[in-house]
Amino acid sequence: MKNTSSERILLAFAILVLGCCTRAGAQQNGGPLQPAPNGPPPVEPIATPAPFAGNPNSPAPLGDNRAYAPPGSLDSIGPCCDMCGGGSGCPPLWSVEQDVHILTRSRARDAMLVGDSLSVREPMTGKSLDFDIAPGYEGSLERYLGRDASNRDWFLEVGCWGFNNWVSTADALSSGQVTTNSPLGPVTHGSLVSPFQGQIFGPQGQIFGLDGADVINARYNSSFNSAEINLWVRPRSSPDRLVLHPDGSWHRECQPGLYTSFLVGFRYFNVNEQLHLQGSGTYVYDALPIPPQTITSDYYLNTRNNMYGFQLGAELMERDCRWEYGFRFKVAPMMDVVEGSSQLSTSSLGNVVLPPWVTTTQIAADIDLGAVATYKIHPNVAIKAGYDIAWLAGVGLAPEQVRGGNSIASLLSTGSSQTPNTHGTLFYQGLTLGLTWMR
C-alpha cells in the first residue's frame, strides 16, 4: 500500500509538471494560453502594462473584464522607440550639431593705461575697456563606434567653437596744460601721461606724442577659437518597455532615467588680442620762435596665446524620451605658448623699431561648466538650448603687458626685450542655441 501511495503521488507530480511545461511552451511559441481545469481563463500579460501613452482621441482602453493580449510578433514592433526614434538599442550612427553661442567676457585687470599729471588720477585703466556680447559658432561631428561588454556606447567626437570677436574703445582727455623742460627749452603740453612713465622725449629729444598729450584713444580687440577631439562613453538606457495603446496596438517606448557619461580628449585653444593706444597733442616751445607742433603717435601691443592639452569631462543627464536635460563639465590643463610684439609710429619720426619680444611657455587651465537641454522634434532632428560658463587662467592679455618699467626711451636706448605677462584670467559666459541632426 505504501508503494502504491508513493507511486500515485509521483504520478500526480509528474502530470502537474508536464502541464506547466506545456503551458509555458505554448506561451513562448506564441500559442494560445490553455484554460485552467476549472474557472475562467487566467490573465497572464507578458509584462506589466505601462501607463496609457496613446492618442487621447483613440477608443477607450480595454475594460477590466478583458485581458491584455501580448503582441503576435515582436518583429512588427521594431527596434527603436516609436515616440522619439531612440531607445536603449538605437544609438545614432552619425550626429551633426550646429550651434550659435552669444558670449560675454570679463575685462582685463585694473592696470594703468593713461594717467593725468595734474589731477593725479587714472582716467583710463584696463577695466575701462569693457566688452559687449559677441556672437560665435559651435559645431561638432560625432560617430558611433560600438558597444562594450558593460553595455556602454562609445562615440568619437570632433568639434570646434569660437569665432567670437570683442571690440572695446575708451577715451581720455587732458585736464589742463603743464610745462616740461626739454633739451630745447621749456615746452607746454597736455597733462595726459601714457604707460611710458611720462617720458615725452626720446634719447635725442624726440617727441613721441603719447606722453604730454591732449587726448588718448584706446581700442581693444580680443578673439578666441577652440578645437577638440573627444572619446565619449555613454551608458545605455534601461530596457525599452512595451506599451499597449487604446486601439489595441503595442508600441515600444524608452524608459526615463538619470545617466552619467564621460569623455577624454585633446583640446586646442587660441586667444589673440591687440591693444591700440593713439595719442595726440599740441606742443609749444616757449623759448623758440617756432610754431606749435601737433604730433600724433600710435602704439600697438599684440599677444598670441596657443594653448593645447588633454581634457576630461562628464555629463549628468536626465533622459525622458523626447527630452534630455542636465549638466556638463570639462577641465583641461594645458601648455600656453605666449608670443608678444609691439609697434610704435609717430607723425614726427615715422615707424620706430622696437626690439622683439621673448616667447614664453607657461601652464594654463580651462574649466567649462554648463546646463543644457535638448528636445526631439523629429526622430532625426533635435533642438538644443544651454548656458555655459568658462574660466581660462594663465593667459597673456594685451592691456596687462603695459608695464611702467618699459618706457619708449629705455627701449630705444638699451634694446631690451620684453617678456609677456601670462597672469591673465578670462571668464566667458553666455547662451547657446542649436540644432542636431542624427541618423
Q: Please, which pLDDT band fits residue 7 given cuts at 50, 70 and 90?
A: low
Say whether pLDDT at 343 is over 70.
yes
Q: pLDDT band at residue 245, thresholds of 50, 70 and 90?
A: confident
Indicate if the pLDDT at residue 152 is higher than 70. yes
Most confident of 71-80, 202-211, 335-344: 335-344
Q: What pLDDT shows up at residue 44?
A: 29
> What is the pLDDT confidence band of residue 75, given thresholds at 50, 70 and 90?
low
Per DSSP, the residues of 27-79 read HHTTPPPPPPSSSSPP---SSPPPPP-S-TTSPPPPPTTSPPPPPS-GGGT-S
8 Å CB contact between 262 and 231: no
User: What does pTM read for this prediction?
Assistant: 0.77
Q: What are phi and psi of 406, to 5 degrees?
A: -115, 70
Rounded (to 5) percent helix, strand, coil in the chain:
10, 55, 35
Average pLDDT over residues 258-283: 95
Average pLDDT over residues 164-168: 95
> 341, 330, 407: which is closest to 370 by C-alpha?
330
pLDDT value of residue 350? 75
pLDDT in the model for residue 377: 96
The percentage of the chain sitting over the pLDDT mark of 90, rounded to a whole number, equals 47
> 194 falls in which pLDDT band (50, 70, 90)?
confident
Q: How confident is the model at residue 342 (pLDDT cuts 50, 70, 90)?
A: confident
Spatial separation of the C-alpha atoms in residues 126 and 113, rounded to whole Å: 7
Q: What is the pLDDT of residues 311-341, one digit of tens each?
A: 999 999 999 999 999 999 999 999 999 999 9
Is 13's pLDDT higher than 60? Answer: no
Q: Which cell numbers hold the place of 140?
A: 561638432
Phi-psi category of residue 350: left, alpha or beta, with phi > 0 → left and psi -120 to 50 → alpha = left
Section 13-21 average pLDDT: 47
> What pLDDT digit, counting tens, does each position of 372-424 carry?
999 999 999 999 999 999 999 999 999 988 765 455 555 555 555 778 999 99
Distance CA 221, CA 197 (A): 24
User: Domain residue spans in the chain?
Assistant: 94-438
